[in-house]
Amino acid sequence: MKAKDMEPTHPRNPYLTVDVIIECQGGIILIRRKNPPFGWALPGGFVDYGESVEHAAVREAKEETSLDVTLECQFHMYSDPGRDPRFHTASMVFIGRAEGTPRANDDAREAGIFTASNLPQPLCFDHGQILSDYFQRRYEKGY
């Protein structure tokens, strides 16, 4: 074995992110992104070092919608390496609830409340798949 083969390497890991399906006023809140990739997305973002995914979800939701969100449950983990065109991310998706009117802030240019029948386009990342899974499960299991 050569010396260079024994040198420590730094692992390349996916970035950990969170997304929140926020139920509010009979619909779900989506934000229109200020930064690339442009389009509509679930509120969410990166988990900071030393932060729990639950705290990150509540923090990101507040930063982007100006609302206090109560997390109801973990929904699903999405980790397809192609889900984010910038780099490999793994996102823990939560379902939460909020009251009030969302107001875009931070990385959000606009915020709105939508239903399965009036989702805006284009949706970023794999959020179309996430929302399809959510609405299907909600219909089947009465979320």
What is the total count of domains within the chain?
A: 1
Query: Which pLDDT belongs to residue 1?
Result: 44
| Amino acid at site 57 | A
- Catalytic, 110? Answer yes
CATH of the domain at 34: 3.90.79.10
Full domain range(s) for residue 52 = 13-141
Alpha carbon 64 to its chain's center = 11
91 belongs to a structural domain? yes
Q: For residue 134, tell me if it sits in a domain.
A: yes
Q: Which of 72, 99, 110, 140 is catalytic?
A: 110
- pLDDT tens digits, one per residue of 46-75: 999 999 999 999 999 999 999 999 999 999
**Closest residue by Cα to residue 83 from 17, 22, 21:** 17
- Whether 57 is covered by a domain: the verdict is yes
**Per-residue pLDDT at 129 exceeds 90:** yes
Q: Determine the pLDDT at residue 111.
A: 98
Confidence grade of residue 26 (pLDDT, cut at 50, 70, 90): very high
C-alpha–C-alpha distance, residues 12 and 5, integer Å: 17
